[in-house]
Structure 1
C-alpha cells in the first residue's frame, strides 16, 4: 500500500520536472510527511500542464457524506469496484513524490519505517485516479493512489507498493486507454529505487520537517542490508 507520502522539491524544479505550473489555491509548500486526508499535489489528464491539490482519499461519488475516502486502490481489481469505476474509466492522474514511506515489522516486532525514494530523480510520479464528490453544500476533488505487487526492493519490506511510473511512461498514463493503463500498473521495473531506515518520528503526521527523512545513524541502508 501507500499510506504516507512526501513532496519537498523546490517549486521551480517541480514545475520544470513535470512541465506544469502550480495552480492550487494554497500554492505549494514542501511537505515531508503527507498523511491520508491531507492534500496531494497531482496532475490530471484534463489539465496535464497544471499541478493542483486534491484531497487524499477518493470519496465515492455515490457516498452521502464526505468521509475520509479511500487512499489506495488495488490496480488488479480497480475496474471491479464501484467506488473506482468512474475514475478508472477516464480520470487518471500523476501523483508527484519525493519519496513514500512504508513500515516493516521483522518477526512480528516493532514496526520499522523506511523511506523509499528514487536515487536519480528528485521527484517521481505514482499512478493515481481522481474524482469529484459533490454534496449539497460542497464539492471535493479527491484522489487515490494505485498499488500493485512489490518489486524486488519492496518485497523485503511490504507485500504491496504504489504503481511508480517510469518517467517515459508518465505522459502515456495520462493519455492512454484503459487497456494500456492496465499494462502500466506493474511493479516498478527499474533499479533506481532505494530504501533506508528512518526514525519513528514519521509515525506522527505532525512531524513534517527535514528530520523525518534522515537515515538512522546517518547511514542509508541499501537493499542488501534488509533483504529477507
Structure 2
C-alpha cells in the first residue's frame, strides 16, 4: 500500500537523476504530504524520458467523471495484468514515480492511527513502479497509480503491502526501453532496503505541511 508520500528532491536534480527532460508544470517541491488526487512527479518514456506531472489516482477509460468509481491510487502486482482497469497500461504505459519516502499506518490498542515514515536505507530517493494513462476527451488528463506487492518480512511489521521499488539498473526495463520482461521486477525490495520511524500524528490530516512531518517521533 502507498497512500501518502513526500517529495523533496529539486526538479533539476530529479531530471538529472532519471536523465529525463523536465516539463514546465511540475508540482511544487518540497512537499512532505503528497495526497491522493494531487499531482505527482512521473517519469515515462516513449524512447526519450520525460519528467511530467500526473494526477495520482488512475482513471479507467470507462469512468465518466473523476469520482465515477473507486479511487485507484495503487495497482496490485499480482493482478495488474488481468484487471481490465490496468492491463493495457501494465503492458504499454509503465512509469516511475519518484519520492523521498512514503507513509504507512499502524493502530494502537485504542484504534488510533499511528503514522510511520518509510525511506530508503541508503538515503537515496525511491523510484516506485507505476502505470499511467490519459483520461477524458474534452479536457484530457494524465493519471497514474503506484504498483504494490506483498510486503517483505521486515516491512510486514508495519503493513502487509508495499510499493514496488525499482532499482536504477532496472529503470530502462520497467520503462519499456530495454525490451520485455518487466513483470519480473514486481517483487518486494530486500528486507534491508528500507528504514522507517514513527512520526507525529499531525500527518494524518491531508492539510498538514512542513518538514517536521517526517521528523522522528520520540516514543517509549
TM-score (norm 2): 0.91
Per-residue CA deviation, residues 61-117 of structure 1 (Å, 9 max, x unaligned), is: 121222274100111001111111221120000000100000011456322110000
1:202 matched residue in structure 2? 203
Alpha-carbon spacing, 1:156–1:189, altered in 2? closer, same or farther (3 Å): same
Q: What displacement does 1:60 show?
A: 0.2
- What is the alpha-carbon distance in structure 2 between the residues aligned to residue 62 and residue 47 of structure 1? 28
Per-residue CA deviation, residues 159-218 of structure 1 (Å, 9 max, x unaligned), is: 10111112221222112556x22110000126231010000111112112101101102x
The answer for unaligned runs of 5 or more in structure 2 is none
- What is the alpha-carbon distance in structure 2 between the residues aligned to residue 11 and residue 66 of structure 1? 28
RMSD: 2.0
1:186 matched residue in structure 2? 187
2:2 matched residue in structure 1? 2
- Contact kept, 8 Å, 1:22 with 1:52, in 2: the verdict is yes
Q: What displacement does 1:29 show?
A: 2.2
The yes-or-no answer on 1:49 pairing with 2:42 is no
- Contact kept, 8 Å, 1:166 with 1:188, in 2: the verdict is no
Of 116, 127, 130, 1:128 maps to: 130
The answer for unaligned runs of 5 or more in structure 1 is 220-224
The yes-or-no answer on 1:34 pairing with 2:40 is no
Point out the structure with the larger helix share: 1
2:22 matched residue in structure 1? 22
- What is the alpha-carbon distance in structure 1 between the residues aligned to residue 63 and residue 9 of structure 2? 35
2:187 partner SS: coil
1:222 matched residue in structure 2? none
- Contact kept, 8 Å, 1:9 with 1:122, in 2: the verdict is no
- Contact kept, 8 Å, 2:153 with 2:191, in 1: the verdict is no
- What is the alpha-carbon distance in structure 2 between the residues aligned to residue 160 and residue 209 of structure 1? 26
How many residue pairs were aligned? Answer: 217
Of 88, 93, 96, 2:95 maps to: 93
